[in-house]
Amino acid sequence: MNFWSANRFVVTGGAGFLGSAVVRRLQAKGATQIYVPRSRDYDLRQHDAVLKLLSDHQPDVIIHMAAVVGGIGANRARPAEFFYDNLMMGTQLLHEAWKAGVQKFVTIGTVCAYPKFTPIPFHEESLWDGYPEETNAPYGLAKKMLLVQGEAYRHQYGFESIYLLPTNLYGPGDNFDLETSHVIPALIRKCLEAKARGDQQMVAWGTGSPTREFLYVDDAAEGILLAAERYNRPDPINLGSGMEISIKALTETIAELTGFTGEIIWDSSKPDGQPRRALDTSRAENEFGFKASTNFREGLKRTVEWYLETTNQQV
């Protein structure tokens, strides 16, 4: 039987940035029974809402990516929410999915679960070698508990639960709200707005020295669906591009693509976050054949173009 056409899929967070890309890929692969629960109808922090979701839609496969997320500023301002909301949404849903006889549960974790000082590249075996970077530890640990839960339910009940660790994502459709956005959309917006005002300077957070790895959102969606179809082991799996870039070099590239020619001022009073981030992506390639295909500069260009079209601006 065809995996895609034969199964009913529930995609939590399916209206969001990554979720929308996953739903598009599901449709392209031939899935016809896809349900995207909205928080106004199913508040997954509430036990009754979880039960109602499962009763209403009786999924065979759940791809769980609903989350309260944000950049360093949002993580610092709302750590309690980031911990409680993410933990409650995930742990209740996984438990009740097992009880309801769901065939497969795919948890989308976070690279923020890794210890602050993890040897480069991050190997999945290093997940438990230290405490996460402080600004995003509540979020990272809440999501990390779903790895523990999935492994426990697999061991005791034989429940088919897998756990994926995507690196920082970017692409068209990202969140460009400066209060909650991640680094790429924030820099794109700041550069474009500084250029539009004719500013000679733009302020960026931190020192520019940390490094990050970025994965184009459509590549991430493909990796998630390959794992959903082909992977069935308790071991967590990194999803990344295998490319590491400093925040300074990233900012300079975005300034070039947006046409901002002013000076970049680094505000070192703001936190840098984790010093380095780059993943070992060999397990995903070996286990289910995933390898990122989008060139980083091309992906950034598409993201800038999408934002300009959405806001009716021009470079």
Residue 265 lies in a domain: no
CA separation for the pair 236, 169 (Å, rounded): 18
Asked whether 180 and 70 are in contact (CB, 8 A), the reply is yes
pTM score of the predicted model = 0.93
Residue 310 lies in a domain: no
Residue 266 lies in a domain: no
Q: Residue for token digits 């791809």?
A: 63
Residue 308 lies in a domain: no
Q: Which residues are catalytic?
A: 139
Residue 193 lies in a domain: no
- Give Cα 99 distance to the centre of its chain: 27
Counted domains in the chain: 1
Residue 221 lies in a domain: yes
Residue 178 lies in a domain: no
Tokens representing 77 are 């301002």
Give the pLDDT score at 314. Answer: 65
CA separation for the pair 80, 48 (Å, rounded): 22
Q: Residue for token digits 């997954």?
A: 44
CATH of the domain at 164: 3.40.50.720
One pLDDT digit (tens) per residue for the chain, 315 residues: 599 999 999 999 999 999 999 999 999 999 999 999 999 999 999 999 999 999 999 999 999 999 987 777 877 889 999 999 999 999 999 999 999 999 999 999 999 899 999 999 999 999 999 999 998 899 999 999 999 999 999 999 999 999 999 999 999 999 999 887 889 999 999 999 999 999 999 999 899 999 999 999 999 999 999 999 999 999 999 999 999 999 999 999 999 999 999 999 999 999 888 889 999 999 999 999 999 999 999 999 999 999 999 988 766
Which residue range is the domain that position 16 belongs to?
3-173+213-244+275-294
Please enumerate in sequence order all residues whose Cβ is within 8 A of that of 22, keeping only pairs 6 or more positions apart, or say none. 11, 14, 63, 65, 221, 224, 225
Residue 305 lies in a domain: no
